[in-house]
Homo-oligomer: A and B are copies of this chain.
């Protein structure tokens, strides 16, 4: 019996009748059938505002990190931001689902990260302890994260030597620099290539169902912890670890 968990499903597509919309609907239904609670952030449907701006409390020169941190700590954030943070706080897993546009997230989803993951909530230094909140010391240690994306390119093009860049490396800033940075256990991303030529009649889930079933049990990508001796004090990987290599993959324990 799977324990009941809370999953936050964040998605971004302007057309609900798209492949993204259909996978989202079926994925959420499947998780609910399995007994999980699913909280949704369908960013287009919510008319989510992705543009980080000074709040009403800012006077004078706007300092992005310091002012959004102060608003977070003092409870003066915009209501839409606080609501998303509350969803994330409740979730034990996050699914980020989007079509790959220009080899990244649609702007509306990037702006969810920009606005919601502010200092104090998702990174920065803990005032009480002085601890740097990142990776194994991050705020969301214990939360699982799955990226699910659909793309026009063929499978080989996002494979290990593919022209578009191997997917885990292409999405390094999201998987490692954002999700793992905040402490999350990040699963291997799920991707559907050749999405424009995909027939969902035989298998409407296209393999995503298995990945959802493993959301709480699959092994995450073993990114190196930051503070346990793999990196120098300037945050370069120490020379004796995978000597001479410079691929982004050096940050994964293989």
Contact = CB atoms under 8 A, between A and B. Distances in A.
A102 interface: yes
Interface in A109-129: 110-111, 113-114, 117
A107 interface: yes
Contacts of A61: 15, 17-18
A83 to B, nearest CB: 18
Nearest to A66: B196
Interface stretch (A71-79, A87-95, A208-216, A228-236): A228-236
Contacts of A236: 156-157, 159-163
Given A14-B64, A169-B169, A50 B108 contact: yes
Nearest to A156: B234
A14 B52 contact: yes
Contact of A176 (B160, B165, B249): B165
Nearest to A237: B161
Given A178-B102, A235-B156, A235-B157, A15 B169 contact: no
Interface string A215-254: 0000000000010000110111100000001111111000
A105 interface: yes
B108 A107 contact: yes
- A15, A99, A152: which has the most chain B beta carbons within 10 Å? A15
Contacts of A234: 154-157
A14 B62 contact: yes
Contacts of A198: none
A15 B103 CA distance: 28
B50 A248 contact: no
A142 interface: no
A106 interface: yes
A51 B111 CA distance: 10
Given A14-B62, A107-B114, A110-B104, A251 B50 contact: no
18 contacts: A14-B54, A50-B50, A51-B108, A64-B101, A102-B114, A103-B173, A105-B110, A107-B111, A107-B114, A111-B111, A154-B234, A157-B234, A157-B235, A161-B250, A163-B226, A163-B231, A163-B235, A165-B176
